[in-house]
A and B are shown apart, each in its own frame.
Chain A
């Protein structure tokens, strides 16, 4: 009885997690149809082009995976914050700060060190870069009650301007907006393992992303710190009663959230270009918010949502010949709105359907 009740609850949770996303995609496709027709194109052709340009060939898929990797980090960053009841809008600048720290470290290391040996150093540097920005917002909230939405937005401006200044004034290669190549630590592309991916940006940081997802899942759902963090997010009063230092959880959660976004900078710096370039993070941080929402703040859901948004981002380039690529931006927006609004709606329908299905259905 208890086992079957457990199985039933599992199935119900799965349905409630997956169905809203499916419904949202259908709604987005429908809106897309209308837009494409208004633009004088055939929806079938545009969607075919979108699929062919992304999942239809190895290069396209590689590009999708590259974008998915960054979005996994920023989505996870936002999701961890939300689990603690904090809305981190600053993944954009935390990602950039992490990338910058890694890029600068790369120019300081002696050349020719094995990539695997120095990778931990880069992870720590990127985590410190992103964590400093997120942690600052966390401390501002814990000590003085400054709302994290305001402070992370403000920090986006401050940090991005500061990084721009540092790059331009001190670190750039002449006539560019990027730093010099890292002297050690560059990671191979995915094509080194799977040759058909040749030319695409997908790289070994993809596996680092999956590892971080696994650690984050363990941290949130299996560790004592995660138990306390989620309690703070759900009911701060009950967490406080349970002996949890609520302000302490706030700054730690923001620190971790920023660090995860910061490590995402390695995807560009170590995996793709091998240098830090001003503005590489543009948009990825904000899209992380959408990824977290669609992924329901669950690390596994975040990966799937990142894959969806990675596909749409790359697909925008693929359909550019038929319709403006901004149309895909509109589709992304529709997905977000549909998911956010459809979650409670779909849940209600599911629950009443289950109820009507009889007591044991």
Chain B
């Protein structure tokens, strides 16, 4: 195999050069040092997992590698060639491509148009649509990334959109592929499909760097693992020689209780009150295409109970939660909080009635990214932090200090804009705001999406505490392990309905998986 520039230099000892070698990388953003002497060695043709807590500097290091940032110090080689401080264009030319955590697709264009964007196939100045679709279809067949090239991106599921992102990168000739938390938005079958594709790519000689928090993924697909903590590299091990517990210890710097083995059977708390805190009756929600996204769903959540909703994304979970929160119009049915009908009430009225909501998309809904941590910590509560029309700045600051301390939000600076924080710390703002106040019912949608093991442990502990305190919690998660670790009952959503509601004891991954794909129990 040769490097894209065709001049692979042999290393002194005759071994093939590493696909990627980063040494002593320093990268600062103002006062924040995201990387301090970080290093990474990736061999050719391997799947290399890059793990670490939020804010450990993984994404920054990969942006340095893909040419988005020039490092303050350190050296970078790709296929034995010194590429320190190269540009994104040079990186792409050399076959290094990054698939970002947040999709960068044009929703009104087709799959093929998105893939070729910037590298269009043209005939006499006109876009050759058929040619593009053919090329994308061929690429899809070769790699197993199957998406119909003629479909609009706005119609795709999250898993399909991600396939398009990967296709886009491959189409630009990437042989070293960087994936930033690719499974954060995928359902278990989609994750399996992704692993199949990545393994296939590795076996045909491509190199893959996988940024992830999830240690089971590391164990499942990677060959080698590099662990980062606080901007520096703290370990590099062959996957077969390590264990999730050891990796977690390296990441956090102490022993961690992992979700999977902690509370396989959640301990039942004493339920003081038997009346349902959240009561949903025959709820129907129409979506943009006027079909029923949620189709006559009924359930109740009691105080001191966690009802988990599992399901492949796009089966109505988003619409259900938004309807309960007051963000989406209900076409039929009723929502009751503590026996009071709130179906037609505003978001604020529901909040005042004791409803808290951790939204599934913190960047779009959960936070105003350009607001400070302190201002974000009062979002939805602004009327409680105001007097005679003015925001009470002292009260806001005092609240921020308390929540930052209690939820360990970093940096511990109330004036720092939320945009500057890592994903996990952004989520901590949302958790702190929604769980750090008086509430009786919590809607927790994907509460640990895209956050690291340390934060997951913390968030899960918060949810368990809230249950012990008698809160009613509706947990929606694409992560089956999470649903099983926390829930007292598990509902599976499929096609806008509950395909099944099972007590925790009867809910196994196999049974849930069958309901999730619609394979069993087409319940009415």
Which residues on A are within 8 Å of B, measured CB to CB?
A: 2, 5-6, 8-9, 12, 218, 222-225, 227-228, 230-231, 234-235, 237-243, 245, 351, 354-356, 358-360
Contacts and interface: CB of A to CB of B under 8 A. Distances in A.
Contact of A9 (B29, B327, B415): B415
A147 to B, nearest CB: 18
A2 B413 contact: yes
Given A241-B380, A355-B28, A356-B72, A224 B391 contact: yes
Interface string B349-379: 0010000010100001111111100010001
B288 interface: no
A235 B368 contact: yes
A243 B29 contact: no
B413 to A, nearest CB: 6
Contacts of B389: 223-225
Nearest to A218: B390
Nearest to B350: A243
Main secondary structure of the interface of A (DSSP, over half): helix
Given A8-B31, A356-B72, A359-B31, A239 B368 contact: yes
Contacts of B412: 2
Contacts, number: 91
Interface residues of B, number: 37
Interface of B: 28-31, 33, 72, 325, 327, 346-348, 351, 357, 359, 364-371, 375, 379-380, 382-383, 385-386, 389-391, 393, 412-413, 415-416
Contacts of A359: 28, 31, 33
A224 B386 CA distance: 6
**Most chain B C-beta atoms within 10 Å of own C-beta, residue among A12, A230, A243, A351:** A243
Contacts of B348: 243
B371 A231 contact: yes
A231 B391 contact: no
A243 B345 CA distance: 11
A264 B485 CA distance: 63
A221 to B, nearest CB: 9
A6 B415 contact: yes
Contacts of B385: 224
Contact of A243 (B351, B366, B386, B415): B351
Contacts of A241: 325, 327, 347, 357, 359, 365-366, 379-380
A202 to B, nearest CB: 33
B393 A222 contact: yes
B347 A240 contact: yes
A237 B390 contact: no
Given A231-B368, A240-B347, A243-B380, 11 more contacts: A2-B412, A5-B413, A224-B390, A227-B375, A235-B369, A238-B364, A238-B365, A238-B366, A242-B347, A355-B29, A359-B33
Given A5-B31, A242-B379, A235 B364 contact: yes
B364 A227 contact: no
Contacts of B391: 222-224, 227
A237 B370 CA distance: 14
A209 to B, nearest CB: 23
Contacts of A228: 382
A234 B415 contact: no
Contacts of B383: 224, 243
13 contacts: A6-B413, A12-B30, A222-B391, A223-B386, A223-B389, A234-B371, A235-B367, A237-B364, A238-B367, A241-B359, A241-B365, A243-B347, A243-B383
**Most chain A C-beta atoms within 10 Å of own C-beta, residue among B325, B327, B379:** B379
Given A224-B382, A243-B347, A238 B368 contact: yes
**Most chain B C-beta atoms within 10 Å of own C-beta, residue among A234, A235, A351:** A235
**Most chain B C-beta atoms within 10 Å of own C-beta, residue among A9, A231, A237, A242:** A242
Contacts of A224: 382-383, 385-386, 389-391
B30 A234 contact: no
Given A222-B390, A231-B371, A245-B346, A238 B30 contact: no
A237 B386 CA distance: 22
